[in-house]
A = this chain, B = another copy of it.
Amino acid sequence: MKLLHRQQIESILATIDPLAAIETGFVQYSQGKVIVPPVGELLLDKGEMHVKYGYVKGDDFYVIKLASGFYQNHELDLPSSNGVMLLFSQKTGQLVCILLDEGHLTDIRTAIAGAISAKYLAPKRVSAIGIIGTGIQAKLQPQYLKTITDCRHILVWGRNAKKLTIYQQKMQQQGFTVTISDSITELTDKANLIVTTTPSTEPLLKAAYIKPGTHITAVGSDTAYKQELASEILLIADLVVADSISQCLKRGEIYQAITNRQLEITQVLELGNIINDGIGRTHEEQITVADLTGVAIQDIKIAEAIYLAAENNCSMKFKGLNKNYS
């Protein structure tokens, strides 16, 4: 049994790109090849834990993720989110690997889903990347977009001036030029690849702001009460894509738009089918929306990718060692 700590996982992440594996996962999910039981939930006085698990039929592993949110942890100088993933053999049930990622892999797989959405839906010429929010996803999404677009210009909008300045500095260190937008409309005017990353419960983007030729990836809303996009945006969009249609019936922007009678579920396509068909955006002037609520297949695929890379690293090191002694 292999045990990987967060630092080891981060080192491995720097050497691999799990995008292709997660793309394959989305396709398998849309083809009905992925078994994902209902999410387990444990509610506690000071927080909550979710149990997400599943597997791809015929693959080597099944994966369980235990993710927690304890929102008073900052008082103790601890992160509010935490998590651990466990990889088991589909053939024997044996525990193969524990990934003590502290929730980091959930952040990464979410950013990668954003990159996959942009790969199929963003316009070819990205004028600027518009980021709503300054949190973890605001930082990770542009990094994983680097393989999808050459654009290195970020327009960022947020409510907190201090956090915006820190964000600007941090992302400029990552090779971006960063402009702080005074208003959301300034951002929607100049950026045509927009990622919304806030936990807002009131729509931040209105339909009137959105110019033709814009793609929006909505990452922030993953519950039934969060909403970043006015539902009318989904009404005027040429293409609305869900990471999981069944899940988007219960939470996220698509759920909101259906509830507000601006959208019918039959108009929604699933990301895995877009990837499989290889057809997303068909015209530069289209408005497209990807609604990402987070699917267990992403956890399964990234956990597998890290484990396999760790195994490969070990065998490479082992081979190297042998060489020294041969």
Point out residues on A near B: beta carbons under 8 Å: 1, 3, 35, 37-38, 40-47, 49, 51, 53-55, 57, 62, 64, 66, 68-70, 73, 76, 78, 82, 84, 86, 88, 90-95, 98, 100
Contacts and interface: CB of A to CB of B under 8 A. Distances in A.
24 contacts: A35-B42, A37-B40, A37-B42, A38-B40, A42-B53, A42-B54, A42-B62, A44-B62, A44-B93, A45-B57, A45-B90, A46-B91, A46-B92, A46-B93, A47-B93, A51-B51, A51-B53, A51-B64, A66-B86, A66-B88, A70-B92, A78-B92, A82-B93, A84-B95
A131 to B, nearest CB: 28
Given A84-B86, A92-B70, A92-B73, A55 B51 contact: no
Chain A to chain B: the 10 pairs with minimum beta-carbon distance, closest first: A68-B93, A70-B93, A40-B40, A47-B93, A82-B93, A70-B92, A73-B92, A44-B90, A84-B95, A78-B92
A179 B19 CA distance: 64
Nearest to A71: B93
Nearest to A38: B40
Nearest to A69: B93
Contacts of A95: 82, 84, 100
B82 A94 contact: yes
Main secondary structure of the interface of A (DSSP, over half): strand
Nearest to A47: B93
Contacts of A68: 88, 93
A90 to B, nearest CB: 6
A41 B236 CA distance: 41
Contacts of A78: 92, 94
A76 B68 CA distance: 36
Contacts of A43: 35
Given A35-B42, A42-B35, A94-B82, A49 B66 contact: no
A224 to B, nearest CB: 19
Contacts of A69: 93
Contacts of A100: 1, 95
Contacts of A90: 44-46
Given A78-B94, A82-B93, A42 B55 contact: yes
Contacts of A88: 49, 66, 68
A49 B70 contact: no
Given A78-B92, A98-B98, 4 more contacts: A35-B42, A46-B93, A70-B92, A76-B92
A133 to B, nearest CB: 23
A1 B100 CA distance: 10
A91 B45 CA distance: 8
B82 A53 contact: no
Contacts of A70: 91-93
A97 B1 CA distance: 16
A64 to B, nearest CB: 6
